[in-house]
């Protein structure tokens, strides 16, 4: 019988709602209040955030193994509070991080991480989630369900399954568009030139070499390579740069040479990464993710607020309606 067990980690070290939903991993589902379920190492794991801890469900025979999986996945050996204290020397980080404690970089399965981010090109989190789930349902292995969620859970497909004949055309039928070719070609390339363990072996090479190897794959440019380096291959200094990070670099840090730049060039991309690495050190990728998440949340809140013109128009219509109502009396 599955029961709750303590991971013994405070909210300041791990905050599930932001860490699991900030665009790193795409297969965690909300299955209850402050509760999430997902698949790690071919097993369903359910997590719950309490006021002072993170809890996980496991039967008595698998508590130790599940705890070790979670410690590795959340990289709990990294003292996040100490890193935040160091990063708070940067005033922009300090200003933005107040409400975003406990955001950690996940140490994901490199295979799932790679193909998820190949799907990320010109895509939203909801569509990436849909695509990763479709791949798992079609070519993964059924694992089971959890209480409170009738949808089945699957493992992520192996390289061999994704390299099968007909995968590209089936992905196109499933709505993957041009990404279908990238997925099929990358799976075949890795098996033809390396083996099933090659991606994991990149954890043991230097960042620059790791990035260079990833960019040989179909559908993998600088940003996707940096996402995979950071989120599954232990390259904590990796800085994925997209339009949001580009705007943060220009607006908040006034990086030299970017003010007049109209587009992201390879030179500008590298300059932004080097700048953040100089400020935040060996775990610059982690710091960048906190700033990115905070900025996205603030941007989302602003975008949900009606514009001044719309608010004034709404007030005007209310006044007109009130006048008509009074005229009828």
For the stretch 125-129, contacts whose Cβ atoms lie closer than 8 Å and that sit 24 or more positions apart, written own/partner, are 125/23, 125/26, 128/26, 129/26, 129/27
Closest CA to 73 of 36, 99, 101: 36
The per-residue b/e assignment along 228-254, b for 16 or more CB within 10 angstroms, e otherwise, is bbbbbbbbbbbbbbeeebbebbbebbe
Q: Is 319 designated active site?
A: no
The distance from CA 297 to its chain's CA centroid, rounded to whole angstroms, is: 14
Q: What angle, 0 to 180 degrees and rounded to 10, lies between the N-to-C axes of helices 222-232 and 266-280?
A: 30
Distances in whole angstroms, Cα of residue 241 to Cα of each of 54, 74, 251? 31, 22, 14
Of the residues 57, 96, 188, 223, which is catalytic?
223
* Helix, strand, coil tally for the chain in percent (to 5): 55, 10, 35
Supply the residues annotated as catalytic. 223
């Amino acid at each position: 019988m599955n029961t709750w067990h303590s991971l013994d980690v405070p909210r300041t070290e791990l905050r599930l709602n932001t860490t699991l939903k900030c665009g790193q991993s795409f297969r965690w589902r909300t299955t209850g209040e402050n509760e999430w379920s997902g698949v790690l190492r071919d097993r369903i794991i359910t997590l719950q955030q309490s006021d002072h801890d993170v809890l996980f469900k496991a039967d008595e025979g698998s508590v130790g193994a599940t705890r070790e999986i979670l410690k590795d996945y959340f990289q709990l050996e990294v003292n996040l509070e100490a890193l935040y204290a160091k990063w708070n020397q940067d005033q922009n980080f300090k200003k933005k991080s107040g409400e975003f404690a406990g955001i950690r970089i996940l140490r994901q399965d490199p295979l799932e991480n790679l193909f998820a981010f190949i799907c990320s090109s010109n895509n939203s989190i909801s569509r990436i989630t849909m695509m990763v789930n479709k791949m798992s349902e079609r070519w993964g292995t059924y694992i089971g369900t959890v209480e409170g969620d009738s949808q089945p859970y699957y493992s992520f497909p192996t390289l061999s399954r994704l390299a099968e004949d007909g995968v590209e055309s089936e992905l196109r039928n499933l709505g993957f568009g041009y990404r279908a070719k990238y997925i099929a070609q990358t799976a075949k390339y890795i098996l033809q030139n390396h083996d099933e363990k090659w991606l994991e072996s990149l954890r043991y090479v230097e960042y620059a070499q790791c990035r260079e190897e990833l960019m040989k794959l179909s559908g993998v440019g600088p940003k996707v390579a940096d996402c995979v380096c950071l989120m599954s291959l232990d390259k904590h200094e990796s800085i994925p740069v997209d339009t949001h990070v580009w705007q943060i670099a220009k607006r908040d840090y006034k990086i030299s040479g970017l003010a007049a730049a109209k587009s992201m060039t390879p030179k500008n991309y590298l300059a932004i990464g080097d700048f953040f690495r100089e400020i935040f050190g060996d775990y610059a990728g982690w710091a960048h993710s906190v700033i990115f998440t905070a900025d996205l949340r603030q941007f989302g809140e602003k975008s949900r607020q009606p514009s001044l013109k719309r608010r004034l128009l709404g007030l005007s219509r209310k006044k007109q309606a009130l006048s008509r109502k009074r005229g009828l009396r």
